[in-house]
Amino acid sequence: MKYKSGGLQIGKSEWVSFILTLIATLVGVLIAISVTNSGIRNKEKSDTIKLLHTAKLILTNTNQYAQSLYNTVIELEKDTITNDNQSIEDLKSSNPIPYPDLFEIGKKRIENKYSNNNILEIQAE
């Protein structure tokens, strides 16, 4: 079977070669897309894990600071001879317990649906 178009003839073997080339190209493109998506998914998982570790570290440090401040205030309140209520109140007002601002950023990222999916996948592993 030959195809004629303005003097150009294409034989059966050329058609087979052309179709096989198209199929190979399509398979190659699909594999490349799959590998790229897999890499992106792994990077998102890694970023989510880092974010969770950072949030945990921030909360741990904030808790340690708050506990230390609490213990200091308790110790100062025990010594009422050298410390009056005003100095203890000044200490409390000048050293507030820090609100973990970075945790808010992390919270917004964790609320992201992709991060939620990553967290669920990590828990399943």
Model confidence pLDDT, tens digit, residues 35-71: 888 888 888 888 878 877 887 888 888 888 889 988 9
CB contact at 8 A, 88 and 73: yes
Burial (CB count <10 Å: 0-12, 13-18, 19+), residue 28? exposed
Which helix (H) or strand (E) element contains residue 97? none
pTM recorded for the entire structure: 0.54
Rounded CA-CA distance 25/45 in Å is 30
The pLDDT score that the predictor gives to residue 115 is: 59
Dig out the tokens for 75 from the structure.
């110790």
